[in-house]
Structure 1
């Protein structure tokens, strides 16, 4: 079933676009490039305009480059990343359900996404950044958001750039991060 058919046909609380890696035993969406048809774009736009939640995970920032609304919804577009490596995630808001179980400085291994623009702006709540001094190849400088959320009308958006490796999805801290983000997104 196409993504847009699922959006139209199922009573749901949130739409999630997940990274394109294979996750054993989990449903996945292939998310890179242009993945929605014009009908799918319309369905997602209506969904979010009507107060539906949208959660993007990792490569959800690498999709729908030709659709300006999606870029506005997500808040930033993927620009590139250095090699997969360890780094320190700096949790900015431990009161958010996706972050409350994490320490203020969380050591993690991932692809550290750089974005074409910084998503930090009025109305956007940055939940975590990365300390670029702690890894090689960062391209955003001292303020490098990794996780953010925003409320838009009655709807909510949550995005995490984390989650490249399959084993991330078996890590209790990361699973708690995703579950908290999903619960917040679904309202």
Structure 2
């Protein structure tokens, strides 16, 4: 399930400490809109690596692959693709995101709602969090995205990496 708002965790510090101690956190789409909008950067946002800022209308996008060998993206290399095209998706723009602290997996080189605006817009990343692993993808707003085999391979690869079932680079600042 996607989350938004304040999660009713009985002990958020224990939750974050469990991840730090070697557990995995896997977040999809609105996981970055959870504990969003606090006055200070919430420790959950620091763990995740970025915070939802806004989104525009759903749009067709071409997600570029930042690491072709990571379990969350290597299925595209196998299919001889350098990008992942989605017909319609709600693309997030982020704040409190520092690409020197995460290992990017997918990104956009054009603003999702203004193709004339070039830049680098993060889509999916992973990171080590002390001894734990964090995998996040902003994709997954629409049911048809979840039903797509390439999206499923992206998620499954990210899960396998986060659980330590497959090796993958998490060195920050790869772009």
Q: Does 1:150 align with 2:127?
A: yes
Structure 2 counterpart of 1:87: 61
Instruction: Find the partner of 2:154 among 177, 181, 184.
Output: 177
TM-superposed CA distance for 1:141, in Å, is: 5.0
Number of residue pairs aligned between Structure 1 and Structure 2: 155
Q: 1:59 to 1:157 in 2, by over 3 A?
A: same
Superposed CA deviations along residues 106-133 of structure 1, whole A, max 9, x for unmatched, are 21131110001333014x1111101316
Q: Bigger relative contact order, structure 1 or 2, given CA contacts below 8 A and separation 6+? A: 2
Structure 2 counterpart of 1:120: 99
Structure 1 unpaired stretches of 5+:
1-17, 20-30
Superposed CA deviations along residues 16-68 of structure 1, whole A, max 9, x for unmatched, are xx42xxxxxxxxxxx1100133x241331121121111011000000113471
Runs of 4+ residues over 6 Å off in structure 1:
none
Structure 2 unpaired stretches of 5+:
165-175
- Which one has a larger percent strand, Structure 1 or Structure 2? 2
d(CA) in 1 for partners of 2:161, 2:97: 22
Query: What is the root-mean-square deviation in Å for CA atoms of aligned residues?
Result: 1.8
TM-superposed CA distance for 1:150, in Å, is: 0.6
Q: Secondary structure at the match of 2:119?
A: coil
d(CA) in 2 for partners of 1:159, 1:119: 14
Superposed CA deviations along residues 148-170 of structure 1, whole A, max 9, x for unmatched, are 11112211001100000012111
